[in-house]
Amino acid sequence: MDRIVDMLNSSKRVMELNRSEIESRKEEQRKQDKVKNDKNKERRKQLYDYNRLFNSEYIRLRNTLNSEKRRSVVKSLPTNINLKLWRRYLDVQFDGKCPLTGSDKIHIDHFIPLSWGHGGTYIGNIIPLSDHFNLSKHAKNPFIWAERRKIDVDKFNSLVEHLASLNQMTSKEFRDYVFWCEKNKRNEEQIRLDGNVTSVELWNQSPDNLKVFCDFVTDILRMNKKVSIDTRTIKKLCKESKITYHDIRREHVKKALGKNKVIIMDHIYLKLKR
């Protein structure tokens, strides 16, 4: 019995020694971590002071771009730009200045405002704009805003032409697209329901754009009373009117062409009713 008691006491002593050793090790580790954190804190402070003195513009630009990207993400709009790409685009295309005023005090502006539920934060919709002009434009239609502000026409048209080329449109198509976005604003729920479909794709599928296609066909049918249009011609017309070949709807075409025309989409040709 005494032997068992001695073993238990010995075991307790071992446990107490181990516990004290573990505690001492933890305490030592805490001291080392504190020293390390103090060093890191000092280094962070030095880095912050250095950036504040020499990289303030870089920090401001990074924070602004991240803020605009977060706004797009919250609204489920496309965002595919990083700071490196934006700085290169800003320097190469605009020489780091506002394209309308030449000022180097610039903000990042969405040509199609995010509040419309269209566009996004990507090359083709964001531009550098002077701080005064950006606050003035806000969420207005850029074409109407430029006209009312009496912006230099050549500079504004040059900017529109550049954005249109990035979106693979002509200047007139891009203007129609912007006005369509203003007319068909979306809330966050509608954006989620549309899924991954971009604003350009929605515009391509809109009845207004199908009407453009129908106008092309109507002009051809007026010139030739007996005419058949093969697949190649239809696809060419679709390309010119910026709609997808499979997005053509019989009812839209029939309504645009009138009652005297017959549309046979199954055989992929259109002709006048005899």
| Mean pLDDT score, 96-113 | 91
pLDDT at 156 over 90: yes
pLDDT tens sequence across 49-73:
766 666 677 778 888 888 888 888 8
Q: Are residues 26 and 105 in the same domain?
A: no
Q: Are residues 47 and 65 in the same domain?
A: no
How far is 252 from 31, CA to CA, in rounded Å?
76
Q: Are residues 71 and 155 in the same domain?
A: yes
| Mean pLDDT score, 212-219 | 59
- Domain range holding 248? 206-272
The pLDDT value recorded for residue 215 is 59
Q: Are residues 73 and 147 in the same domain?
A: yes
> Is residue 71 situated within a structural domain?
yes
| Mean pLDDT score, 139-165 | 92
Q: Are residues 45 and 95 in the same domain?
A: no
Q: Are residues 63 and 107 in the same domain?
A: yes
Could you say which of 153, 169, 185 is where a domain stops?
A: 169
| Mean pLDDT score, 30-58 | 75
The pLDDT value recorded for residue 188 is 86
Q: Are residues 215 and 124 in the same domain?
A: no
Q: Are residues 129 and 29 in the same domain?
A: no
Q: Where do we find the tokens 């950006």?
A: 134
Q: Judge residue 11's burial from the number of C-beta atoms within 10 Å of its C-beta, 0-12 exposed, 13-18 middle, 19 or more buried.
A: exposed
> Is residue 198 situated within a structural domain?
no
The pLDDT value recorded for residue 195 is 81
pLDDT bin (cut points 50, 70, 90) of residue 233 is low
How far is 164 from 127, CA to CA, in rounded Å?
13
Q: Are residues 160 and 130 in the same domain?
A: yes
> Is residue 74 situated within a structural domain?
yes
| Between 178 and 26, residue with greater pLDDT | 178
The pLDDT value recorded for residue 142 is 94
What's the number of domains the chain is made of? 3
Question: Which CATH number fits the domain that encloses residue 122?
Answer: 1.10.30
> Is residue 48 situated within a structural domain?
yes
How far is 194 from 98, CA to CA, in rounded Å?
34
The pair of three-digit structure tokens given for residue 156, joined into one six-digit string: 């504004």
Q: Are residues 147 and 118 in the same domain?
A: yes
Phi, psi of 114 (to 5 degrees): -65, -30
Could you say which of 142, 169, 196 is where a domain stops?
A: 169
Segment among 26-30, 75-79, 96-100 with least mean pLDDT:
26-30
> Is residue 31 situated within a structural domain?
yes
The pair of three-digit structure tokens given for residue 164, joined into one six-digit string: 């249109």
> Is residue 179 situated within a structural domain?
no
How far is 118 from 76, CA to CA, in rounded Å?
10
> Is residue 140 situated within a structural domain?
yes
Whole-number Cα distances in Å, 267 to 151, 244, 248, 273: 51, 18, 14, 15
